[in-house]
Structure 1
């Protein structure tokens, strides 16, 4: 397979459809916490606003400035993030990272839609962009938890 064919396979119709329809892209007017993550390699950024109630994400908004792969990941995250606990988001992050770096299976439900990004395993320079939404979410959750206890 040529490099061009590999790239076409990477940017499948499914990935492009997810990238074109990212849910929860409005920033929150009064977030409990905000986190911004940036991939130094490509410059992709994701900013997450959230509100946590009873240990679960009650409100969520994200601003995604990323490649199609980062956008697709943010789309899957946005579709399933409401109501999730920190442990669930950590598990999704860890499973996504293992899928990309260690040839492990796709994350478990509800984030199993991230399996669409399996072809990106061979493109290590794209991994950081794919991880941004979950990493920003976890950082914002940590900030929300620290302010709730203060």
Structure 2
């Protein structure tokens, strides 16, 4: 059983500061793709808009209705994602999953700030909320790729 001190660590000052200052919360007017993802267990939702130019994310907007952990993850993603390639975003999502589920390495730059969520490893019911932003971004990037191939 996890103790009260572990819960205090989980909601560290850094996580709460990230959750209170989420960048890119304006939705985009004409995105190349929009994806809304929901974590069924807790009801957290994230909607992601993105534009892609020259194989990189040129603009990004998000609407975040999530717990503090999901908000913190969205904050890191929103700060880091513009300028990234689809491969970088997929690598960040996969590394975050591995970090949470298997104590894997910290996600690579520019998403290394997600390390702050490592204490959530023992709270499997929070993993889906933490992954929402990157999973929505990956799905949006896949939509863009499919439309480019059509």
Please report the TM-score for the alignment, with normalisation by the length of structure 1. 0.96
Report the CA distance between 1:71 and its aligned residue.
Answer: 0.3
Which whole-Å CA distance do the structure 2 matches of 1:107 and 1:33 have between them? 24
The answer for unaligned runs of 5 or more in structure 1 is: none
Residue 9 of structure 2: aligned partner: 9
Q: What are the superposed Cα offsets for residues 40-64 of structure 1, whole Å, 9 maximum, x if unpaired?
A: 0000010000111111100100000
Which whole-Å CA distance do the structure 1 matches of 2:67 and 2:106 have between them? 20
Count of residue pairs brought into register by the alignment: 150
SS of equivalent residue, structure 1 residue 104: coil
Matched, 1:111 2:111: yes
Q: What are the superposed Cα offsets for residues 85-108 of structure 1, whole Å, 9 maximum, x if unpaired?
A: 110001000100000000112111
Report the CA distance between 1:2 and its aligned residue.
Answer: 6.1
4+ residue segments displaced more than 3 Å: none
Which whole-Å CA distance do the structure 2 matches of 1:120 and 1:109 have between them? 20
Q: CA RMSD in A?
A: 1.2
Which whole-Å CA distance do the structure 2 matches of 1:2 and 1:66 have between them? 22
Report the CA distance between 1:149 and its aligned residue.
Answer: 2.8
Which whole-Å CA distance do the structure 2 matches of 1:28 and 1:121 have between them? 33
Residue 88 of structure 1: aligned partner: 88
SS of equivalent residue, structure 1 residue 76: helix
Matches within 5 A, 1:52-131: 52-131=52-131
